[in-house]
Amino acid sequence: MSIFKSCDIRGVYGDDLTEETMASIGRGMASILRRRLEQPRIVVAGDIRRSTARLKPALIDGLLQSGAHVIDAGIIPTPVFYFAFSHIPSDACAMVTASHNPPKFNGLKLCFSHTPVSEDEIAELERVVRTGEFLDGAGEVERRTVVADYERWLHAEFGGLPPVTMAADAGGGSWSEIAPRALQAAGFTVVPVFCRFDPDLAVRDPNPLPANIGELCRVVRENGCSYGAAFDSDGDRVVFVDELGRPVPSDVAGGVLARWLLRSNPGTRVVCEVNCSQALADAITAAGGQPLMERAGHAFMKRRMIDEGALFGVEISGHFFYRELHGGDDGLYSALLMGKLLGEMGRPLSEVVDAVPRYYSTPVVRLPRPNADARRIVDAIAANALASANGSVSRLDGVRVQYPRGWALARVSVTEPVLSLRFEARSREFLPEIIDQFLGFDQHLRDEVKQHLKT
């Protein structure tokens, strides 16, 4: 399976992603940029994973060999990296990170300009790396520290908020030092959870799924916190916990934030990732906004945000996108915004969350499949849905079928060899009907999904 994905680069360190590979990626990136720039200025940073300490220097070495000017921003969270890219004169950027993936993975988030990376750009980089069509050059490195500037900007945005007690779970990741400090500077009382750097990401799973944040839920309940925020290891995602210690589904949290933001921005657009509940779109419409569906993936969501001039965007995994961030996302920004919302509304998060409409949605079902097999299954589901004409079929991202009583989605993961499925019904009693309509032509797959949902 290729390490070159639709939106980024991702692989297992020491297996399909080595120092040699990363140096070649650096050479390829600089060579492509030098076709239009004499000496491209590239912002480089990395997350706190142990393998980043080896892969980031290799990337920089490759960039230098092909004549780039590298601005090394150090080891920082991904949102701080994008802050650096937007504030330092530069042409492109590259962040060594595997985001929420398990510790054995690493990778690269990158841009060839000040717009999100495209699939064509990723494909061209893969081609140049495989063919070795590199340009030679003599690059140079400058080192820049941007954390203080980022924290000053964040304080200007959120300083002096109503006092709120909250728990922040960094999972030993990149926000471990910055998040508690920035939240306290905004006026919050912060109870830290796993806020010491852990390069092995062993204190908890780097993916802040509800199943992985039990400690945060306990801390929120036992300390009387107004809410909790769990970040992924590189810091662009956040999952919220209400004051009762209940994890809040990200599309529900998105509905809370969207309705609050739309109060002062009526009629504006909100981008909803294809996995999100129909209840989110309904909540946006009821609040006077215009919901827009988009395929999953950071680059796709950010590009749609920019193209549409959208106010806000929601991805089911806990990415929240903002017009104020030039279409980008930032887990800490979202955590501060939620605290501001609660302070101004004067209502508990559980009450605010329970006021958002809910339909019966399954978790995302992730079935391990090679990408080619997953694509064949998606195409077969689409063909069956079109032939049966029982629902409205969208091929925006995999296949999504809207039925009178709900919807179903199957798509190929952009980061892992996984077939991803989700189902939603207007009420629980209609869920088996939705699954049968979507997968009834393949009894083995249907039974596998139903068994997965029982566990």
What amino acid positions are annotated as catalytic residues?
10, 99, 319
SS3 234: coil
Give the C-alpha distances (Å, rounded to integers) separating 406 from 154, 307, 341, 383, 430.
40, 29, 31, 19, 8
H or E element in which residue 386 lies: helix 371-388
**Three-state secondary structure readout of 283-320:** HHHHCCCEEEEECCCHHHHHHHHHHHCCCEEECCCCCE
User: What is d(CA 431, CA 164) in angstroms, rounded to the nearest whole number?
Assistant: 39
User: Who contacts 138 (Cβ-Cβ below 8 Å, separation ≥6)?
Assistant: 64, 67
User: What is d(CA 438, CA 334) in angstroms, rounded to the nearest whole number?
Assistant: 35
Phi/psi at 86 (nearest 5 deg)?
A: -80, -15
Q: Which two tokens stand for residue 441?
A: 């032509």
H or E element in which residue 454 lies: helix 443-454
Beta strand residue intervals within 296-446, DSSP E: 312-314, 320-322, 360-361, 365-368, 392-394, 399-403, 406-412, 418-425
User: What is d(CA 294, CA 315) in angstroms, rounded to the nearest whole number?
Assistant: 9
Residue with tokens 């398990």: 102
Q: Cβ(280)–Cβ(251) under 8 Å?
A: yes
Among 336, 342, 322, smallest CA distance to 156 is for 336
CA 66, 70, 72, 78 dihedral sign is: negative
367: left (phi over 0), alpha (psi -120 to 50) or beta: beta
Give the C-alpha distances (Å, rounded to integers) separating 15 from 21, 57, 89, 259, 281.
10, 18, 35, 45, 42
Phi/psi at 11 (nearest 5 deg)?
A: -165, 175
Among 281, 276, 241, 277, smallest CA distance to 262 is for 281
Mode of pairing for the β-strands spanning 227-231 and 238-242:
antiparallel
Q: Which two tokens stand for residue 225?
A: 């916190």
Q: Write the DSSP assignment of 259-284 as a string of letters.
A: HHHHTTSTT-EEEEETTS-HHHHHHH
